[in-house]
Amino acid sequence: MRLRPLPISSLGAVLVIALMTGCAAADWHPRAAPGPVGTPGAGFLPSTPPTPEATISPVEGSWDSVHPSPGYRVVLLSAGDDPTVDTLTEAVDDWAESEGVELRTVDASQNHIDGIVEAMDLSADLVISVGNDLIDALATVSPNHLDVQFLVLGAEIAEPTANVTAVDWTGASFRGEGLGASSTFDPASFTDDRCAAAVRAGVAAVLTGLSGTVLWID
């Protein structure tokens, strides 16, 4: 059967649809990350500027008034399928939806290094890492890409550079380097409320210039 050519009007409609689809799926481009909306409450910032790799303990809830700018771009980088990863992933998803964040996901379970590179190549404002399996790979990659901001939830890099922020609590704090989980590691500590607080506290730290530190949120 011979196909008849589409009339000009139909071709135009197809072209418009294709252009609209292309715009919707357009890649992010590198840019200067937008600043925060709002300021942290009392007890969030330490009285003196923290030293690199310092651990700080902000007052609970002092991060609640800090929000990302509309259209803030985040990549959720994950590895593993244990309940702690699932709970952190859900916390990030919920936060992104409530804040109007543009969120993309990368599953690095099969190849940690390749997954991190894929996440970096997306040109996000922030890469959020969940899953202990990623820590050693992040320790290798992150010092060589200081222009990329990483936020690690429920774990930390032993010697972070200024572009790696972490949020920990009693029951978390995995540090990699072949040491295995801490003797205090407790999956039950990864509650919905604590993981939600970890996301908001960590993002507030990045947005307000406390990157390169570890936030302890017990």
Asked whether the beta carbons of 192 and 209 are under 8 A apart, the reply is no
pLDDT tens series, the chain, 218 aa: 444 454 544 444 433 433 333 333 458 999 999 999 999 999 999 888 888 889 999 999 999 999 999 999 999 999 998 999 999 999 999 999 999 999 999 999 999 999 999 999 999 999 999 999 999 999 999 999 999 999 999 999 988 999 999 999 999 988 876 555 555 789 999 999 999 999 999 999 999 999 999 999 98
Instruction: Find the distance separating the first CA and the last CA of the chain, reported in whole Å.
Output: 72
Q: Map out the domains of the chain as residue ranges.
A: 53-216
Assigned CATH class of 53-216: alpha beta
pTM, to two decimals: 0.86
Task: Please provide residue 55's backbone torsions phi and psi, each rounded to the nearest 5 degrees.
Answer: -105, 125
